[in-house]
Amino acid sequence: MEHHDKILILDFGSQYTQLIARRVRELGVYSEIKPFSLSLDEIRKNNPKGIILSGGPSSVYAADAPLPVPGILDLEIPILGICYGLQVIAHALGGEVTRAPQREYGRAELTVKNASPLFSGLGDSLSVWMSHGDHLTRIPPQFEVIAHTANAPIAAIQHRHRPVYGIQFHPEVVHTPRGAEILGNFVFKSCGCRGDWNASAFVASTINEIKNKLGSQRALCALSGGVDSTVAAALVGRAIGRQLVCVFVDTGLLRENEAEEVCSFYERSDFEFRFVDASQRFLSQLQGVTDPEKKRKIIGHEFIRIFEEQARQIGEVSYLVQGTLYPDVIESVSTKGPSATIKSHHNVGGLPSHMKLQLLEPLRELFKDEVRRAGRELLVPAFILNRHPFPGPGLAVRVLGEITPERLAILRPADRIFLEELRASGQYDLIWQAFAVLLPVQTVGVMGDERTYENVIALRAVTSLDGMTADWAEIPHDLLARISNRIINEVKGVNRVVYDISSKPPSTIEWE
């Protein structure tokens, strides 16, 4: 991307690295996370206005301690080391790091002792958040101590003549209330950044880049109706207009009115829009199938077949547009954990390599909230931008057991009522994901004087930050009562509603 000023964040494995990137971007400065081992050449190529060394769980004396490439401190680029980042600076330049008598974790009062651009405008005393095992016991030559706490006599240092700083606490977390101002002092005062990175700057520069890159070539995009693919398509559409062809497949597993709502927006877009009603194909392939993984496989394969057929009809296409986001691509030590494997089964198939399409991923540098802001710039309607995530296999994993048109017809209105009530009460936006599930059991009820033997709807609503862990949402009881009443009264074939009170882990968000 053709950028404004850039801050590079070298990741030493801290759980907070992404937060540092977000905080810097919130200041209006573009930031990128790179592995700690980035070479000097690569660093120069990135042309950063400043470098932040993140924290990390290691000790600089460990045999496999991640250390920055030699020479990084001589680059004449302003540097800020946070926690472990401070320790690697000190270690590299002749200071001394030792194991603290006990881990220091939590709030501390920082006393600023020497004037420093880093603490400019912040007074003499600040509340900060500490989380470290090692600490600095001797500063390197040429450095001075600029702040201390009761437990850490050396809590912040700076080079006497160059813009190199280190701080033991975490300015990126909310528990350091004035942390954003400290980061702001670094990026504006020391690095000279302008703070002109925002959604409209991103949209304008990305449109230009896509135009230049694609020229008269064509691109193809599979739309899901969700935030990411919609914003990616809107952006590419704005750049190349009808050279972009978007395909939206009705799998027969969408929610009530979803296909119509989504189509009515897409039909007015800049790109060529193709709607494929493949519901019969999917439903007949899924007939008699009850195993969730088998359902997913069938749906994935069928989806690819439809996409290939469309591509053949459309003709020569060079690029495939995907709504990949930044958290999916960060090459960092801290994100190589189990999250990568948990996510893999969620991607629908993958396209066959013989289609020879190059990937165009215009959102790969953005976080979700930035995607929403870019979407607003592109006039994507709020009902798409603020939507809860919806799984690729759709209602197939929410009709437990066999999927039939009749069972889908019971689930859809129940799900609609649930979401309607959540929206009307203002709960929808507080929740990560909410949906109804049709269980494969029947239970006894009584309606009027009649005994009934009908279906059970389970309601699932969770709060979460990323879908990896989740808590069940504490929806007010009177609202649950209203939802349950409406579902039982309005949806034929349901005589019982239950609310799922399991967290993830050990449960998952979806039931299948």
Alpha-carbon distance of 198 to 201, in angstroms, equals 5
User: Segment contacting ligand XMP (CB under 6 A): 50-58, 301-309, 385-393, 408-416?
Assistant: 385-393
Distance from C-alpha of 301 to C-alpha of 309, rounded to nearest angstrom: 12
Indicate the residue among 431 and 479 with the shorter CB distance to ligand XMP: 431
Scan residues 420-439 and list those touching ligand XMP (CB under 6 A).
433
Q: Which residue, 120 or 507, is less far from ligand XMP as judged by CB?
A: 507
Does 272 sit near ligand XMP (CB under 6 A)?
Answer: no
Closer to ligand XMP by CB, 339 or 452: give it: 339
Which position among 45, 213, 346, 356 is part of the footprint of ligand XMP (CB under 6 A)? 346
* Residues near 80 by beta carbon (within 8 Å), at least 6 away in sequence: 50, 51, 52, 53, 118, 165, 166, 167, 183, 186, 190
- Return the number of the residue (296 or 416) whose C-beta is nearest ligand XMP: 296
Q: Measured in whole angstroms, how far is the alpha carbon of residue 68 from the centre of its chain?
A: 27
**Range in contact with ligand XMP (rule: CB under 6 A) among 4-12, 110-118, 310-318, 384-392:** 384-392
Q: Which lies closer to ligand XMP via its Cβ, residue 311 or residue 509?
A: 509
From 32, 104, 172, 377, the catalytic residue: 172
Q: Which of 4, 32, 83, 365 is catalytic?
A: 83
| Residues composing the chain | 512
Q: Are strands 471-472 and 450-463 parallel, antiparallel or unpaired?
A: antiparallel
Q: Considering the complex, what minimum distance in angstroms separates the CB of residue 433 from ligand XMP?
A: 5
Q: How far is the CB of 321 from ligand XMP (least distance, A)?
A: 17
- Please tell me whether residue 55 adopts helix, strand or coil conformation: coil
Residues 390-409 that bind ligand XMP (CB under 6 A): 391-393
Q: Which residue has the tokens 């400043």?
A: 50
Q: Is 504 in the site for ligand XMP (CB under 6 A)?
A: yes
Is 263 known to be catalytic?
no
Active site residue 148: no
Which of 6, 25, 238, 296 is the binder for ligand XMP (CB under 6 A)?
A: 296
Asked if residue 3 binds ligand XMP (CB under 6 A), the reply is no
Residue 393: phi, psi to the nearest 5? Answer: -75, 0
Which of 57, 349, 467, 493 is the binder for ligand XMP (CB under 6 A)?
Answer: 467
- Is residue 510 within the footprint of ligand XMP (CB under 6 A)? yes
Closer Cβ to ligand XMP, 204 or 342, answer by number = 342
Binder of ligand XMP out of 117, 133, 389, 445 (CB under 6 A): 389
Q: Rg for the chain (alpha carbons), in Å?
A: 27
- In the bound state with ligand XMP, the residue whose beta carbon lies nearer, of 150 and 498, is 498
Question: Residues touching ligand XMP: how many (CB under 6 A)?
Answer: 12
Q: Please tell me whether residue 454 binds ligand XMP under the rule CB under 6 A.
A: no
Q: Are 131 and 147 in contact (CB under 8 A)?
A: no
Degrees, nearest 5: CA angle 504-417-484: 75
Site string for ligand XMP, 302-341 (x = CB under 6 A): ----------------------------------------
Going from the C-alpha of 180 to that of each of 40, 49, 183, 260, the distances in angstroms are 28, 18, 5, 44
Q: Which of 132, 148, 170, 370 is catalytic?
A: 170
Q: Least distance to ligand XMP from the beta carbon of 291, Å?
A: 13
The residue written with tokens 């290691």 in the block is: 58
In the complex, what is the shortest distance from the CB of residue 391 to ligand XMP, in angstroms, rounded to a whole number? Answer: 3
Burial class (CB in 10 A: 0-12, 13-18, 19+), 211: middle
Residue 283's contacts (CB-CB under 8 Å, 6 or more residues apart) are 252, 403, 405
| 463 belongs to the binding site for ligand XMP (CB under 6 A) | no
Tell me, yes or no, if 406 is annotated catalytic.
no
DSSP letter string over 159-214?
A: ESSSSEEEESS-TTSTTSTTHHHHHHIIIIIIT-------HHHHHHHHHHHHHHHH
Identify the CA nearest to 100 among candidates 175, 24, 153.
153
What whole-number distance in Å separates Cα of residue 461 and Cα of residue 467? 12
Shortest distance in whole angstroms from residue 187 CB to ligand XMP = 34
Residue 433 vs 495, nearer CB to ligand XMP: 433
What span, in angstroms and rounded, lies between the C-alpha atoms of 217 and 428?
A: 41
CB atoms within 10 A of CB 316: 7
**Would you tell me which residues interact with ligand XMP (CB under 6 A)?**
296, 346, 389, 391-393, 433, 467, 504, 508-510
- Report, as residue numbers or ranges, the catalytic residues: 83, 170, 172
